[in-house]
Amino acid sequence: MSPLLRAGVAVLAAVVGAVVGLVTTFAHAQSPPWVLLGGLLLVAGYVLGVRLAFEDPIATSAGALGVLAPVGYVLLVQGDAVVIGDDALGIAWIVAVPTVIAAAAAWPIRRRPEPGSESP
């Protein structure tokens, strides 16, 4: 993959990850605990999907950082509205998102041997 294409994939993964992170962060406290669990499944599916689709650690890292960026921003820079509360749901979201991202990014992928590369 060319360096320009790798950079484009990384930027796209980060932007889509930021959208996923922003939407799930704002929705995590609705209908507890089902939306929180669904958001975590969505985050895990996104990061694992980027990893499987592109097989590029830079794209996976960009997607993971894209998901984490809005969570961290909303957590650290809050105005009058409380998006991530200091209740059990908020703490679960803060702890579970990085854990799920790390697990999805580190998920072992078995490679199939190339046809014709095996010795008889």
User: What's the predicted TM-score (pTM) here?
Assistant: 0.86
How confident is residue 76, by pLDDT bands cut at 50, 70 and 90?
Answer: confident
Q: Is 114 left (phi over 0), alpha (psi -120 to 50) or beta?
A: beta
DSSP 83: S
Q: Domain extents for the chain?
A: 15-105
Long-range CB pairs of 107-114, under 8 A, 24+ apart, other chains included: 107/48, 107/51, 109/51, 109/52
Q: What is the pLDDT of residues 34-74, one digit of tens each?
A: 999 999 999 999 999 999 999 889 999 999 999 999 999 98
- Residue 17: the pLDDT is 97
